[in-house]
Structure 1
Amino acid sequence: MMKALAAADSAGSNPILNTAVFAIFVAITLFVVYRASSGKSSRADYYAASSAFTGRQNGIALSGDFLSAASFLGIAGAIAVNGYDGFLYSIGFLVAWLVDLLLVAELLRNTGRFTMGDVLAFRMKQRPVRAAAATSTLVISLFYMLAQMAGAGALIALLLNVHSRFGQSIVLVVVGVVMVLYVLVGGMKGTTWVQIIKATILILAVVLMTVFLFGKFGFSLSNLLSQAAYHSPLGEKLLEPGAQYGKNGTTKLDFVSLGVTLILGIACLPHVLMRFYTVPNATEARRSVVWATSAMFVFYLCTLVIGFGAAALVGTDEIKSAPGGENSAAPLLALHIGGTVLLGIISAVAFATILAVVAGLTITASASFAHDVYASIFKHGNAEPEDEVRVARRTAICIGLLAILGGILANGQNVAFLVALAFAVAASTNLSTLLYTLFWKRFNTTGTLWGMYGGLICSVVLVLFSPVVSGSSTSIIKSLDFHWFPLSNPGLVSIPFSFLCGFIGTFVGRKEIDPAKQAEMEVRSLTGIGT
């Protein structure tokens, strides 16, 4: 144990180098954000970058928006510790983009303008539906931010050798301030360019790590896997299903719930949905998803190698005992194969990943509040564009503060697992209402509100009373046990419950079918006419 801790501490033996590499990245991206910002205060420019990006650019930005700390730190750690079961996250994330491509991307781009609330309220009562959409967006964004900031805490502990909660909290404040600067200075256009730069660097970094790693095993995948199994406490079971989710009936159900959540969650994430408005038409929206899927296919293949490589070269004991736990697998592997220089580069990329993703979440949440709540509810659709953008910027500051506080509380949790919870809340809240709105003419305001609030309340309550929060050694609150829901991920229950609430609510509420509005939405969503 002492040897493992010493090795973990040595990872932070060159904090000056690690900090310098990260500072260089921040300086370059802040300059890009400043140059990209046009100085305009129009809503179209701040929310959707005036729809000026191509499908290729937006696709790379989409992958940058999605390839978060969960993908780089959490999945690599989950594979290193749990083997095959950890790779299930990658499979779920990748397959999920087919749902986006086939059911959501084109129709959403044609129907809305700035936010998800534009689509949901198109033929419904504006104020209650937009309020529900904004509530959903804010809650999901904050859940997702917890994962990113938890990843930041893990990196801080590992790289700068900062083990005290106070020291990590100070650096989290710095991360939060830089994140808010991206949004305030650049809006959607600047944030998109940060995502493009970050995605390019991240994919290049993992490809280089994969090549270096393969070189150590004679470019043989079988040698890598056999060494990973040899050095793992699980042995050959590392390469087989069931190490994490095959222990009993409850864990098997948890796996099914996780799979359903991952596949259905992406199509409902507000910061992913909002990206489709940065391209000029539905064709480019489809191209965005194709480019994003291609980039992530390469990335997740590399994380498979990196995860098993960490098991082979670093070892499960050293990973678990290092500051940050499972989230430290990829940085520790970089230290083993390339020394402190590669560690500094990989860690700077991971920091950049966190910054860029949280910046995307921040602008989405602030845009939803300003556009759906302030402009549509408080100002009844008569808000001045300059005032709306000003409110969005102020909201971004508030969200940044909440992200910092949440990151301090969630520090130490596996970030891939926390992101899966955000997916569960997103799929439970948004999926049923989006699909019903786009494909069911009878759907009405009551069904929308029942589906969204029913799914949101169900998923959040089940998470609060699950082993995630209390009742197990890995819970956020370890000293208490008030859980009664046995599954760690609520998607298997909360997603169908949301569909059921939306269905029942539609028939409970009175009919609101406006033939003209319905026809307009159908033609617009399928053809793009009037967009």
Structure 2
Amino acid sequence: MSSKHLKTLAALAALSGAGAALAAGGDVGQAAKQATNWTAIAMFGIFVAATLWITKWAAAKTRSAADFYTAGGGITGFQNGLAIAGDYMSAASFLGISAAVMATGYDGLIYSIGFLVGWPIITFLMAERLRNLGKFTFADVAGYRFKQTPIRAFAASGTLVVVAFYLIAQMVGAGQLIKLLFGLEYWIAVVIVGALMMVYVLFGGMTATTWVQIIKAVLLLCGVSFMAFMVLAQFNFSPEALFAKGVDVKTAIAIAAGKTPEEAAKTGLSIMGPGGFVKDPISAISFGMALMFGTAGLPHILMRFFTVPDAKEARKSVFWATTWIGYFYVLIFIIGFGAITLVLTNPEFADVAKGVIKGGAGTANMAAVLVAKSVGGDVFFGFISAVAFATILAVVAGLTLSGASAVSHDLYATVFKKGKADSAAELRVSRITTLSLGLLAVVLGIAFEKQNIAFMVSLAFAIAASANFPVLFMSVLWKDCTTKGAVIGGFLGLISSVALTVVSPSVWEVTLGNPKGSAWFPYTSPALFSMAIGFVGIWLFSILDRSAQATKERADFAVQQVRSETGLGAAGASGH
């Protein structure tokens, strides 16, 4: 191996956990700007032009609040399944999981499995009931038989906290990606994402957002299919040969980082076993629970079930979404190992690799994009860059729409106006909220440039699993659940998940810079504990509630159950 080759391997040793080769170096959080990639910019321009045309077309169809939030309930199950997949296959999935596999090998698959196994929960427990009980937001479902003001206040709080953390992570990821690939300043990249997202949501509403997500899903699935095919083609379509080469490369990295041959061989083999990413069983269970149950509590995903005409199409949506997402995650695993074998051994990426490592969370997730350059040259590199940007844009649009609906539908129309707001006023508040959320996302995206986006994404899932999911689950499936139980238990889950994350090692020590070993909470994810607090809070305060209101709510469960199971009394998306 050449000395340049060895330097590349040594630099990447830090990224792969093989040593602290870059203990000192550069300004962490700063991504090195690359020469302007005109192919990527041209493809990015084509995508933006096409989606703006869709927004113009959708704006003509968006006349009422129902059109704005749920595309008038006119999306088919197949279309909605693709749109859900487009919404769900975010930058964390596309860039983050492939980078996690490149860094920790087989252990990075915990992300894929965690993200995927949330879908059977939605299929069998949620999808049909959501469509039969809901109108615009998940609060319609959770608060079906409860007092509207407290449950809406909780639901809007949970939605906005989840959306805020998810939105910041996407904006930071977008800024770092565009800065690295297109040669733009970070803040300009963030402003571009914010402006485009506001245009899509303000004028096109759910119709435009849905079609942006469908187009992005198709492009992304085609792109990763080609990448995985080309990676396997390098090894005569033998996964075994691909994994064996991955072990050899990791062994070479460990040797380059100064390990003995025996230690290096052990390090190389470690990528085919557990322990590289999650260190103890409690953290593994807690992290897995956050990813699994968080999926069933993400407001921008749940909102998509109100865009279809009936419960049958809602079921069909989940079937198609699960199919595409499962296929995508299998390919991402191959691409992650492709990054080990093609990117880590290519001296051409030495400078990029150093920038990625020094760039922290915002730029460390470039594995998939570099694999694209390895297997398809500059043209395919440009295509994947544009698709990665489209991925972030589509997710950000969906998030903004769910945040806007929480403020306008849950707070303004139901809490402040007591259900008396007209559709035009609600739509106006929603658009004002969209503008505010867009500006807030841009400001926070710039302010959090140097923060680790992985923590923010996992925090969003942990909060959704601890606050939104228990309230949704218990209110729909447990007859003794009351307003007091749902609201107090929900807020306990919300507050405990945020508090435990802040005092965990990943935030308290790594992000906030406190001394090692000083974290109050020893595990990386709070979900196992904060979910339990949420569920116990709902159960305890519900059984202790002996008020006349609670008795009425328990009696109303039978009506809710018939409606949720059969759809009797459920109107189209435009109303109950």
Q: Same fold (TM over 0.5)?
A: yes
Give the distance between the partners of 1:261 and 1:449, measured in 2 at CA. Answer: 20
User: Residue deviations 1:147-190, cap 9 Å, x none?
Assistant: 2123213312320245xxxx212211111110111101110111
How far apart in 2 are the matches of 1:227 and 1:113? 52
Which of the numbers 196, 212, 220 marks the counterpart of 1:178?
196
Shift of the 235–320 alpha-carbon distance from structure 1 to 2, 3 Å rule, reads farther
Please identify, of 9-18 and 356-365, the stretch whose mean Cα deviation from structure 2 is larger.
Answer: 9-18
1:281-339 CA distance string (max 9 Å, x none)? 11110110000000011101110110010011112986464244431111111122222
Matches within 5 A, 1:250-269: 251-269=280-298
* Change over 3 Å in CA distance of 1:277–1:9 after alignment to 2: closer
| TM-fit CA distance, 1:384 | 1.5
Q: Distance in 1 between matches of 2:8 and 2:524?
A: 29
Distance 1:487 1:410 in 2: 24
Partner Cα distance (2:122, 2:227) in 1: 30
- 2:383 corresponds to 1:345: yes
Distance, in Å, in 1 between the alignment partners of 2:172 and 2:99 is 14
Alpha-carbon distance in 2 for matches of 1:122, 1:85: 41
Aligned residues: 520
**Cα distance per residue 1:219-264 (max 9 Å; x no partner):** 2211111111211243111111111223xxxx43211111111111
Question: Compared with structure 1, are the counterparts of its residues 40 and 263 closer, same or farther at alpha carbon in structure 2 (3 Å cutoff)?
Answer: closer
2:430 counterpart residue number: 392
Q: Find the counterpart in structure 2 of residue 146 from structure 1.
A: 168
**Amino acid across the alignment from 1:238:** I
Q: Does 1:478 align with 2:513?
A: yes
Verify: 1:53 aligned to 2:75, yes or no.
yes
Unaligned runs of 5+ in 2: 13-29, 255-266, 571-576
1:90 pairs, out of 106, 112, 133, with 112
Q: Tell me what 1:526 maps to.
A: 565
Q: Determine if contact 1:74/1:414 at 8 Å carries over to the other structure.
A: no
Distance in 1 separating the partners of 2:420 and 2:515: 49
Instruction: Name the counterpart of 1:491.
Output: 527
Say whether the 8 Å CA contact 1:319–1:329 is kept in structure 2: no
The CA deviation at 1:478 is: 3.2
**Among candidates 224, 234, 239, match of residue 272 of structure 2:** 239
Aligned partner letter, 2:214: I
Contact 2:37 2:181 in 1 (8 A): yes
CA contact (8 A) 1:4 1:321 kept: no
1:522 deviation in Å? 1.3
Deviations 1:91-119 (A, max 9, x none): 11111100000111111110111111111
Which of residues 401, 423, 434 in structure 2 aligns to 1:363?
Answer: 401
- Return the offset for 1:383: 0.8
2:149·2:414 contact (CA, 8 Å) conserved in 1? yes
Q: Corresponding residue for 1:17? A: 39
Q: How far 1:413 moved relative to its partner?
A: 5.6
For 2:207, the aligned partner's letter is K
1:14/1:340 contact within 8 Å kept: no
Q: Are the aligned partners of 2:153 and 2:410 in contact in 1 as well (CA < 8 Å)?
A: yes
Distance 1:208 1:126 in 2: 50
Aligned to 2:574: none
> 184, 203, 212: which one pairs with 1:194?
212
Once the two structures are superposed, residues 364-394 of structure 1 have per-residue CA deviations (whole angstroms, 9 ceiling, x without a partner) of: 1101110010011111111111010010011
Separation of aligned partners in 2, 1:79 and 1:418: 19
- C-alpha distance 197-391 of structure 1, shift in aligned 2 (>3 A): same
User: Aligned equivalents of 2:33 and 2:168: distance in 1?
Assistant: 24
1:266-345 equivalence runs, <5 A: 266-315=295-344, 319=353, 321-322=355-356, 323=359, 324-345=362-383
Distance 1:520 1:339 in 2: 60
Q: 92-101 or 323-332, which moves further after superposition?
A: 323-332
Residue pair 1:466, 1:484 contacting (<8 A) in 2 also: yes
Q: Partner residue of 1:74?
A: 96
> Does the CA-based 8 Å contact 1:458-1:494 persist in structure 2?
yes
Q: Distance in 1 between matches of 2:448 and 2:116?
A: 26
Matches within 5 A, 1:443-454: 443-454=481-492
Q: Determine which of 489, 492, 497 is the counterpart of 1:459.
A: 497
Distance 1:27 1:274 in 2: 27
Instruction: Assess, with a 3 A threshold, how the Cα gap between structure 1 residues 153 and 480 changes in structure 2: closer, same or farther.
Output: farther
Structure 1 CA distance for aligned equivalents of residues 32 and 142 of structure 2: 52
Q: Give the 3 Å change call, closer, same or farther, for CA 395–299 of structure 1 in structure 2.
A: same
Structure 1 segment 365-444 matched on structure 2, within 5 A: 365-411=403-449, 415=453, 417-444=455-482
Written as runs of structure 1 = structure 2, the 5 A alignment for 1:91-240 is: 91-161=113-183, 167-232=185-250, 233=254, 234-240=267-273
Distance in 2 of aligned mates of 1:119 and 1:529: 15
Paired residues of 2:36 and 2:183 also in contact (CA < 8 A): no
Contact 1:154–1:327 (Cα < 8 Å) also in 2: no
Deviates more, 1:230-239 or 1:371-380: 230-239
CA 1:302–1:253: 2 relative to 1, 3 Å: same
Q: Give the Cα–Cα distance (whole angstroms) in 2 for the partners of residues 524 and 358 of structure 1.
A: 33
1:517 corresponds in structure 2 to 556
The CA RMSD measured in Å over matched residues stands at 2.3
| Structure 1: 5+ residue stretches without partners | none
Give the alignment's TM-score, normalised by structure 1.
0.93
Task: Determine the C-alpha separation between the residues in 2 that align with 1:72 and 1:40.
Answer: 31
The question of whether the paired residues in 1 share the 8 Å contact of 2:8 and 2:344 is answered with: no
Is 1:63 the counterpart of 2:99? The answer is: no
Structure 1 residues 254, 49: CA separation in 2 closer, same or farther (over 3 Å shift)? Answer: same
Percent identical across equivalent pairs?
Answer: 45
- Going from structure 1 to structure 2, the CA distance change for 1:479 and 1:442 (only over 3 Å counts) comes to closer
Distance in 2, matches of 1:10 and 1:504, equals 53
Deviates more, 1:9-18 or 1:103-112: 9-18
Structural mapping, 1:500-515, within 5 Å: 500-511=536-547, 512-514=550-552
Query: Aligned letter for 2:84?
Result: L
> Cα gap change, 1:314/1:408 in structure 2, threshold over 3 Å: closer, same or farther?
same
Whichever of the two has the greater Rg, that structure is: 2
Q: Matched residues in 2 for 1:169 and 1:462: separation?
A: 31
1:447, CA displacement in angstroms?
Answer: 0.3
Distance change >3 Å, CA 9–CA 133, structure 1 → 2:
closer
Contact 2:31 2:176 in 1 (8 A): no
Report the TM-score when normalising by structure 2.
0.86
Report the CA distance shift for 1:189/1:275 in structure 2 as closer, same or farther (over 3 A): same
Pick closer, same or farther for the CA change 1:479–1:178 going to 2, 3 Å: farther
Name the SS of the counterpart of 1:194 in structure 2. helix
